[in-house]
A and B are shown apart, each in its own frame.
Chain A
Amino acid sequence: DTGVSQDPRHKITKRGQNVTFRCDPISEHNRLYWYRQTLGQGPEFLTYFQNEAQLEKSRLLSDRFSAERPKGSFSTLEIQRTEQGDSAMYLCASSGRTSTDTQYFGPGTRLTVL
């Protein structure tokens, strides 16, 4: 059973550096989501893909953030010029072609910006 995987699991970077995270969804899932979770909060929606098309973006996703899903399989989330406020857990989820849209989450990438 290959669930949703994310890489890396942890990333420590200095302020101003660029970082890129990868998400591999469950193979038959066509929908992919990115969320950000800070301490003591629930996940906040960032963006959503259906196949390779990015259909929805949160206003939380500033112009320093970009997400891609070039072939409709894995996705990358890049943060440019990181700021300390970007420190958070970045969660990826995927869902299949069902009406329930049940999302299955990966373990997350914890980003620490020094």
Chain B
Amino acid sequence: GEDVEQSLFLSVREGDSSVINCTYTDSSSTYLYWYKQEPGAGLQLLTYIFSNMDMKQDQRLTVLLNKKDKHLSLRIADTQTGDSAIYFCAEIGGGFKTIFGAGTRLFVKA
């Protein structure tokens, strides 16, 4: 079936790197996405990666994709208190249906 799984919580110190992991099930997914949600707000697209790529870097964000293991990760370098939020991994499943994980709650300690 279709499922995207993420660890629920991650706590890091300000200035450290954060790594948020995700596993997905649909091997036909063309794009995989990372979204950020702050309290009371909608989802903000952070980055995406095309399925034929292994890595994508965008400023402090690095996305790694292991298509064989269906594993996606998001690394945030030099994590700041403003990065505290919920991070969602998402894939496009059959048709145009987007499947989201339950989200990883990132806590950044000053």
User: What total of A-B pairs shows CB separation below 8 Å?
Assistant: 60
Which B residues are in CB contact (< 8 Å) with A91? 42-43
Task: Indicate whether A42 sits within 8 Å of B88 (C-beta atoms), given known contacts A101-B31, A102-B48.
Answer: yes
Of chain A, the residue at the smallest CB distance from B4 is A42
Which A residues are in CB contact (< 8 Å) with B48? 100, 102
Count the A residues whose beta carbon is within 8 Å of the partner chain — how many? 27
Which A residues are in CB contact (< 8 Å) with B43? 43, 91, 93, 105
Q: Give the dominant DSSP class at B's interface.
A: strand
Which B residues are in CB contact (< 8 Å) with A58? 97
A43 and B100 contact, CB distance less than 8 A: yes
**Contacts of B88-110 to chain A: CB distance below 8 A:** 88, 90, 92, 95-103
Count the B residues whose beta carbon is within 8 Å of the partner chain — how many? 24
Of chain A, the residue at the smallest CB distance from B105 is A40
A25 at the interface (CB under 8 A from B): no
B42, B45, B101: most-surrounded residue (chain A CB, <10 A): B42
A45 and B42 contact, CB distance less than 8 A: no
- In the complex, 27 of the A-B residue pairs with CB atoms within 8 angstroms, ordered by the A residue number, are A4-B42, A33-B96, A33-B98, A35-B98, A35-B100, A40-B102, A40-B103, A42-B100, A43-B100, A44-B100, A45-B97, A45-B98, A45-B99, A48-B96, A55-B95, A55-B96, A56-B97, A91-B42, A93-B43, A99-B30, A100-B48, A100-B50, A101-B96, A105-B42, A105-B45, A107-B42, A108-B42
